[in-house]
Amino acid sequence: MKRSRKSTKPLHLDKDFPRQNVVTRTETNDEVGLKSDSISKSLNSTFKGVRYMLVQQLLSRGMTFSMNMFLIRRSPVEMIGIVDKLDLLMATVLFLSRESIRMALLRNTSTESIIHKNQSKKLDSVHLQHSTDDGIQNQLAFNMSVIPLIGASMFVGGCILYDSANWFLFGASISVAKYMYLVAALIELIAEPSFILLQRGLLYAERVKTEGAAFLLQCLTTMVLFLFLTRSSKDNTISVVDGVWAHACAQIVFASVLLVGYTSYAHYTRLMPFRTLRMVGINQGSPKVFLDPYYANIAMTFFFQGVVKHLLTVGDRLVLVATGVGNASQGTYRLVSDLGSLVARIVFQPIEEASRAFFSKNLTNPSAADISKTLCESFEYLQSVIQLHIILGGFFVFLAPNYTHILLQLYNKFDPTTSFVLGVYCIYVPIMGINGILEAFFQGVGEEAAVRRQSYYMLWFWAVFVSTSYILISIVQMGTVGLIVSNAINMSMRIIFCFVFIQHFFQLNNSIGVLLPLKERNKLSCTFQEMLSPIALIPARMSVWILFGLSWFATYWSSFAYLIWGKLFGTLIHVAVGVICGIALLVAL
């Protein structure tokens, strides 16, 4: 992939930004070498993790796509809408109970390192050196990772005693499926301590194997139950209740496999040798505690931000539920969003998760002796991933909308309105991708004050989203398209916030920048700011983007080939034109 002239300016670590060769009294030469090696190992682990998760996402989403082609063709749209509501309920329980704690525990900082910072006025490598024993850190992480299970159990108990969530009340038969989904959520949270320990150890292969097996068994369970229930019915069709019940059973199977897999690997790798809740001392001579105060504080900050973020993330589905559009309309939107974000979940999600772990591990607690190398490697990685998202976004914007009708025909759900909505959603997908990678950086390195500030901004983003949705849906009568446009506006505001944060971070007027000599810091900061300009971040030559535009024009007109050559031959011509355009673009890049 060729980049613009500014974006390819190399960072010569040894020439332009020489490393600090002076080793403080608290760091030996061997320790410095080991820390330098750990940076490269972390980057290699990140790339390896991206590859593992890309393969896992490709296989799992491929299975899901194939399964959905089988299921959706035989499923009532009302059933899809109900399953979407149940998925929303489960996702809400899981996100609010565990997401903030996950983000806190994956950081490479602890109370012990904070204590070192506050006990000395002189800044050297020891202040950012993380010396707490790994066993103690893992024990504290284990203790804290049990909290989501406690919170979710209280929520489920409250639902059983009094079902106050009227949005998710469907009647006795569907309520059983609802509680099956909640049980599946509890099973996943039981596996959370093992997941945290594997993720902190960057053991991506073990995670991928477990999640791959879980997806496979979930798909097989759903398909077997659908076939059994279909053949058991008199008219060889599946009812709404039976279909929802089949999805609920498959969800429990998925969660159970995650529990067995994560726990087994955690014991196998000796990260969790029959670990139980117990108090440990964070530092020598310090009182024993259950929770690391730093992790607890940052998790609480992330939680309040997470509530607003979740409202923004699933706001479209909540709007559909709150406005009472009906299960059929919600099922149609679920179909469009699932198909539109299929590639996003396969490609963007693994990159986002691995990037968050990489930034958190390298930039929240770096070694002072290797700070220049750490910053340059992290910046180049961030720049490359942003440009990759922009290139992939070009394929979504210029090619994908002209092929939505073919995709819908595979599901036997084609109509012009749905095809147009799916085309609009394709334009929205790259906005989601860019927002994901920028927020991964923010969540990985943002300090408590920055996270709290983002929470305030997200309240305004939520207000703008709700207002825009109301205007576009109720007043302008744009329907589902209005909801997608509102989401795009919301994501754009979040992108701007995170991009401004990244620019400020790489100005190096922070706790990392002060570890550098003033002259080196200023030179490095100027280079980063030049390469962070929006124009420098746009990859490839202008001729490539002209080719993108010509490809849209060619595929748009080829979509009408069926009027001349018939449906089958015209579709083949249309697909062939798209393949030729795609190959030409890849060669040009």
How much is the pLDDT for 365? 67
How much is the pLDDT for 202? 67
Could you give the CA distance from residue 455 to residue 458 in angstroms, rounded to a whole number?
Answer: 5
Q: Which residues, in sequence order, are CB contacts of 351 under 8 Å at separation 6+?
A: 50, 54, 385, 388, 436, 437
Of 203, 204, 196, 84, nearest in space to 149 by CA: 196
Could you give the CA distance from residue 92 to residue 311 in angstroms, rounded to a whole number?
Answer: 9
Of residues 317 and 488, the one with the higher pLDDT is: 488
Which residue, chain included where needed, has tokens 């570890």?
515
Could you give the CA distance from residue 247 to residue 239 in angstroms, rounded to a whole number?
Answer: 13
CA 246-249-250 angle, 5° bins: 85
Q: Which two tokens stand for residue 399?
A: 């090619």
pLDDT at 325 over 60: no
Record the pTM. Answer: 0.65
**pLDDT one-digit tens code per residue, 125-184:** 333 334 345 667 777 777 777 777 887 777 777 666 556 545 444 555 567 888 889 899
Of 304, 586, 309, 297, nearest in space to 436 by CA: 309
pLDDT at 255 over 90: yes
**pLDDT one-digit tens code per residue, 26-52:** 444 444 444 445 545 555 665 555 666
Cα–Cα separations (whole angstroms), residue 60 to 246, 287, 382: 19, 46, 27
DSSP letter (8 states) at residue 401: G
Q: Report which listed range, 68-72, 151-155, 262-266, is most confident.
A: 262-266
**448, HSE (Cβ side, Cα atoms, 13 Å):** 12
Residue 112 confidence class, pLDDT cut points 50, 70, 90: very low
Helical ranges in 5-146 per DSSP H: 29-72, 77-105, 111-119, 134-145
Helix (H, G, I), strand (E, B) or coil at 34: helix
Which residue, chain included where needed, has tokens 């959706």?
72
Could you give the CA distance from residue 557 to residue 574 in angstroms, rounded to a whole number?
Answer: 9
pLDDT averaged over every residue in the chain: 75
Could you give the CA distance from residue 179 to residue 86 in angstroms, rounded to a whole number?
Answer: 9
**pLDDT one-digit tens code per residue, 346-386:** 778 778 877 887 787 777 766 656 777 778 888 888 888 89
- Write the DSSP string, 212-230: HHHHHHHHHHHHHHHHHHH
